[in-house]
Amino acid sequence: TGDGDEDLSCPICQDIFKDPVVLTCSHSFCRACLQTWWRGKKTQECPVCKRKSSRKHLCTLHSEKLKIFCLDHQEPVCIICRDSRIHNEHRFRPVDEAAQEYREELQKILKPLQDKLAVLQDAKADGDQTLKFIKLQSQQTEKQIREQFQKLHQFLQQEETAKIAALSATITAAQAELKAADVSFLKNYQETVRRVQQRPLQDDPQPVPGALIDVHCPSPSGPLLHTPLTQSHSGHTQSPQSQAAARSLFSH
């Protein structure tokens, strides 16, 4: 094979160039052969000299460098293409000038998308911050509810239970005398009245301070805080303390 044939043959397939490409190291190959050679490799190196290389873009018709850009056909071409009939009376720009112009145009088109992305990212950051705050607030509110419930529970169990038990005992004893025989009732009447009168009517208990926590939780029927609580299921009027306790528990 002569030197001229070697200049026209691909070092990989040893055949005449088909769609040739030139690397930055100046070695030429068939486009398909080079793509197959590079497939699966970590670095793109020249199959001949093993230097890291990239492809030079050449004209597929004339194997010349693409130095100018045809504005009419919107494609890079070589010097020979510029003078050919197909590009007669066309407008051209140097490749670097055309590239800069179109980069600026693309940046203008891209700007609204970048602005929208920034807005969405800011909104997401605000949303994430709000979720963190709500989670922390709910934990703090739950702690408050538990503490207030324990205080109310202790109050009802200790103070009110003792008062209710004492009043119930006095009333039960007096009611037993009412059912006694006439003679027995009359004999014990003065002592029964004395015991009843010795049991003073204490002031109505007041709501536990701080029992209502200012946290608004809507429900399908509206805030439970405004639900009528003045009567029990049996129809009897509840005491102000019972009403306050119910409000404290159900308003949260």
| CATH number of the domain enclosing 75 | 3.30.40.10
pLDDT at 2 exceeding the cut of 60: no
CA distance 155 to 241: 11
Distance, CA of 84 to CA of 64 (rounded, Å): 14
pLDDT tens for each residue of 152-175: 778 777 777 777 777 888 888 888
Domain membership of residue 171 (yes or no) is yes
Give the structural domain span for 199: 138-250
Rounded Cα distance, 124 and 130, in Å: 10
151 and 208 Cβ atoms separated by less than 8 Å = yes
Separation in Å, CA 24 to CA 27, 44, 53: 8, 11, 6
Number of domains in the chain: 2
Q: Is the pTM of this model over 0.75?
A: no
What is the reported pLDDT for 11?
92
CB within 8 Å of 63: residues ≥ 6 apart? 17, 20, 22
- Residues 6 or more apart whose Cβ sits within 8 Å of residue 239: 204, 205
Residues 89 and 144 in one domain: no
Band (pLDDT 50/70/90 cuts) for residue 21 is confident
In terms of domains, do 92 and 142 share one? no
**Which residues does 183 contact at the CB level (< 8 Å), separation at least 6?**
none
Would 126 be classed as within a structural domain? Answer: no
Q: Give the pLDDT confidence of 23-63 residue by residue, as tens digits.
A: 878 888 888 898 888 887 888 888 898 887 766 677 877 77
Q: Among 67, 96, 125, where does a domain finish?
A: 96
Q: What is the pLDDT of residue 117?
A: 86
Domain membership flag for residue 103: no
77, 96, 115: which is the final residue of a domain? Answer: 96
On whether both 92 and 168 belong to a single domain, the answer is no
| 198 three-state secondary structure | helix
Least Cα distance to 68 among 90, 89, 96, 104 occurs for: 96
Q: Considering the domain boundaries, does residue 109 fall inside one?
A: no
Tell whether 142 and 66 lie within a shared domain: no
